[in-house]
Structure 1
């Protein structure tokens, strides 16, 4: 039999980040009734989870994670700049920027 997980180093931080994004979208929907928050949270959460899976299977396959965290850092950073609200825009901007920088470091190593 082939064991797909024997050579995998699971990207736990990537999966945790993806869960935080999806949870944030759900909370935006629950608190404010924002369908857009729910959709964006689920889409970016799924993209980030897929990116974490790709990194888990091949540490060099960072393109999806890099793109999703970069776009989310930019969008949420602009929302934070315009609103000045730490939650959720500021927190997600910081988390996304940290994830983006983490992935860049992984590429350089």
Structure 2
């Protein structure tokens, strides 16, 4: 079997694709955890202050985003 030397240049496209897919998954996971945390923190601020802007608005939007992520997790095909 001939020695091909180092990594074949075509493999770098595969490595780049794998890194892109992995980073997308990590970003999606962090975004979901961040939405839940932000909803909790801003929800507490809204509850304590009673002011809708900005705490109530951000809490509501974050809660909707966390719910969207949760629903999409349960609806994806297995």
Task: Tell me the TM-score normalized by structure 2.
Answer: 0.62
Post-superposition offset of 1:62: 3.8
Match of 2:69 in 1: 103
Task: Tell me the TM-score normalized by structure 1.
Answer: 0.45
Match of 1:65 in 2: 31
Higher relative contact order (CA closer than 8 Å, sequence separation 6+): 2
Q: Distance in 2 between matches of 1:66 and 1:106?
A: 11
> 1:62, 1:103 within 8 Å by CA — same for their partners in 2?
no
RMSD after superposition:
2.5
Matched positions, count: 58
> 1:77, 1:90 within 8 Å by CA — same for their partners in 2?
yes
Q: Distance in 2 between matches of 1:84 and 1:98?
A: 20
Runs of 4+ with >2 A deviation? none
Q: Deviations over 1:8-58 (max 9, x none)?
A: 9xxxxxxxxxxxxxxxxxxxxxxxxxxxxxxxxxxxxxxxxxxxx82xxx5
User: Max radius of gyration: which structure?
Assistant: 2
> 1:65, 1:103 within 8 Å by CA — same for their partners in 2?
no
